[in-house]
Amino acid sequence: MFVDIQALFERQLTFPNPDARDQLGRLVGLDDHIDRLRKILALLVYPRSLARWSEKYHPEANQLLETVLNRPPLVILAGDVGSGKTALAESIGDAVARDTMIEVVLLPLSLAARGQGRVGEMTQLISGAFDHTVKEASGMVNEKNGAEGAVILLVDEADALAQSRATADMHHEDVSGVNAFIRGIDRLSNRRLPAAVIMCTNRYESLDPAVKRRAAEILTFHRPDDVQRWNLLAPRLAELGFSEDEANALVKATGPRGKEPGFTYSDLTQRLIPAIVLDAYPEHAIEPARALQIAEEMIPTAPFAPYDRRKND
């Protein structure tokens, strides 16, 4: 079967990239996740940076370093819809490139890798994606100087490709695809190439246990709390002349309401703020009372609820 590599990947991005740096800077409230992920990826794709640190501070810690470097090159970003997982995964390569001073290439895997259900198709597509990742990463290794670049394979909606093989009604083709995915992770790990895989999922519990076990790190994302919503909203509202009390009212209005969850990051940045602006534009200025009314009337994105075929058949 011929594998169309271009169709397998939505696009290819190269870092450092000023647009990605700007996107990373807009991810308010995710500082801890950004800092941890950039460090993890830097160690996975550019282990020389860890060796330099060790030489300076712990020159005898050879076994310690080997333990850290032996981890599989996989990071899982798990959490609610609209919590910033994909935006972070798409832009973190810029921070890694600047930290390590090497070129980093992002390969976002398309859901086309699931194929059309033909026998052996999904396995071949996933294997082809890892073949391409290995080829790209291998070309960035210099025998004398080591890694001169790195590759990040991004798998969004990862549960669609790596769902637990213990699922009762899982199709044989899907099982084979998960097996191919696990083999791909192991292949990158065994060859110690300058490559890492980032998986994003709203359904962490649905991932295959063997995939979870291979994760060097699992970062969990939640909806923004009061402080995070304040940090996002307050500076923007201050530009409009809102008082601290008026800004606090919007922060409260976008929080949990009884059993209803609070706003996601994307609810705030892609829905609420534009709605407030468009309501006033172009006839008049934005009024705090009207902005609060819009926030109170807006329904936050519902938590992800996967379709359960057994309940709907």
Distance CA 292, CA 300 (A): 14
Q: Are 37 and 88 in contact (CB under 8 A)?
A: yes
In the three-class reduction of DSSP (H, G, I as helix; E, B as strand; rest coil), residue 82 is classed as coil
List strand residue ranges (DSSP E) for 44-126, in order: 74-79, 103-109
Check residues 36 and 2 and name the one with the higher pLDDT: 36
Considering the domain delimited by 5-221, tell me its CATH architecture.
3-Layer(aba) Sandwich (3.40)
Report the C-alpha dihedral over residues 105, 109, 110, 112, rounded to 10 degrees.
130
Residue range(s) occupied by CATH 3.40.50.300 in the chain: 5-221
Residue % of the chain over a pLDDT of 90 = 69
pLDDT band at 308 (very low <50, low <70, confident <90, very high): very low
CB atoms within 10 A of CB 199: 29
CA torsion through residues 177, 182, 183, 185, sign: positive
Alpha carbon separation from 36 to 74, 75, 137, 147, 218 (Å, rounded):
14, 11, 23, 22, 11
Q: What is the mean pLDDT of the segment spanning 120-138?
A: 89
Distance CA 42, CA 47 (A): 7
- The confidence score (pLDDT) of residue 110 equals 82
User: Which tokens go with 15?
Assistant: 């870092």
Alpha carbon separation from 196 to 24, 103, 130, 253 (Å, rounded):
19, 14, 11, 40
Preceding omega of 274 cis (within 30 degrees of 0): no
User: Which tokens go with 275?
Assistant: 């709605």
Q: Are 95 and 31 in contact (CB under 8 A)?
A: no
CB atoms within 10 A of CB 285: 9
Distance CA 253, CA 266 (A): 16
User: Which tokens go with 164?
Assistant: 């637990």
Preceding omega of 306 cis (within 30 degrees of 0): no
Chain segment 244-301, per-residue pLDDT in tens: 999 999 999 999 988 899 999 999 999 999 999 999 999 999 999 999 999 999 999 9
Task: Quote the mean pLDDT of the chain.
Answer: 89
Whole-prediction pTM value? Answer: 0.87
Exposure letters 58-89 (e unless 16+ CB within 10 A, then b): eeeeeeebeeeeebbbbbbbbbbbbbbbbbbb
CB atoms within 10 A of CB 156: 20
Chain segment 15-27, per-residue pLDDT in tens: 999 999 999 998 9
pLDDT at 115 over 70: no
User: Which tokens go with 78?
Assistant: 């798990």
Alpha carbon separation from 176 to 120, 123, 210 (Å, rounded):
8, 6, 14
pLDDT at 313 over 50: no
Q: Using the structure block, give the residue that is written with the tokens 């976002």.
A: 108
- Within 13 Å, how many C-alpha atoms sit on residue 310's CB side? 4
